[in-house]
Copies of this chain bind each other. A is one copy, B any other.
Amino acid sequence: MSIKGIFPIDKWDFQSESVLFDLPSNDLLLLMANKSEQVYQKGEIIFREGAYPSGIFYIVEGKVKKYKLDKDGKEQIIYVANNGELLGYHAILSEDRYPDGAAALEESRIAFIPREDFLETLDQSKILSKRLLKTLSHEFAVLANSLSMFAQKSVRERLALQLIVLREKYKVNFQAGMPVAINMSRGDLASLVGTARENVVRVLSEFKEDNILETKGRKIIVHDVEKLIMIADYK
């Protein structure tokens, strides 16, 4: 059984991979006319919060964290973007600066599309504009969910929830029953869950005790998603 039957994954996941999917070839050609691809190393910054946007990015392969830094430099991860997702379009569309920064969570291949090409294609393509409206409204729902999660759930519940979501993102060539390794540092996990590193480690140990998961170095292998779903949803 897919996770969709037992957990509402789309409440926690953007759908920006559907923006370019099967776009009319005219539109796609125009959009991609001057694209340039680049490989970002793990930890490398793609753009910084507050910078003026020069274009949008498409994740060909890899994972990217979108985050904000507070004035003490403490990082809060807003979202983990995966293969096929777009980055940086909010700033262009809102005619403002990047509302958050983006950095590679692992070695990632990312295409850059200049601002002008994006805006021109948008101007010509009703379908692109419709899809962006759809994606952005869905993102609103996702962020509203995250918001109330932070306001109302405990660290234990939030960690359980993020592990469920991350497990989906770290699936590659997944087959039922196969283990999934979440390869993320405790620091990043802490900044995603919104707590201190030590608390993440402690709750992970509890989860190990309860045979919910095992850790191999930094890798987290989830064995019992159902239990995580229980913990995330119920007290």
Interface residues of A (CB under 8 A from B): 68, 70-71, 74, 76, 78, 89-96, 99-100, 122-123, 126, 129-130, 132-134, 136-141, 143-148, 150-152, 194, 233-234
Indicate whether A141 sits within 8 Å of B96 (C-beta atoms), given known contacts A147-B76, A147-B78. Answer: yes
Closest to A146 in B: B147
How many copies the complex holds: the figure is: 2
Q: Is the CB of B99 within 8 A of A148?
A: no
Q: Is the CB of B93 within 8 A of A144?
A: no
Q: Inside 8 A of A78's CB, which chain B residues have their CB?
A: 144, 147-148
Which of B138, B145, B147 is the one whose CB lies under 8 Å from A150? B147
Closest to A192 in B: B151
Closest to A72 in B: B235
Q: Inside 8 A of A93's CB, which chain B residues have their CB?
A: 133-134, 136-137
Q: Inside 8 A of A141's CB, which chain B residues have their CB?
A: 90, 94, 96, 99-100
Indicate whether A152 sits within 8 Å of B76 (C-beta atoms), given known contacts A68-B144, A129-B133, A132-B133. Answer: yes
Distance in angstroms from A101 CB to nearest chain B CB is: 11
Q: Inside 8 A of A122's CB, which chain B residues have their CB?
A: 133
Q: Is the CB of B137 within 8 A of A94?
A: yes
Q: Is the CB of A144 within 8 A of B143?
A: yes
Closest to A122 in B: B133
Given A70-B152, A78-B144, 7 new contacts (CB under 8 A): A71-B234, A74-B152, A90-B141, A99-B144, A140-B140, A143-B143, A150-B150
Q: Inside 8 A of A151's CB, which chain B residues have their CB?
A: 76, 150, 194
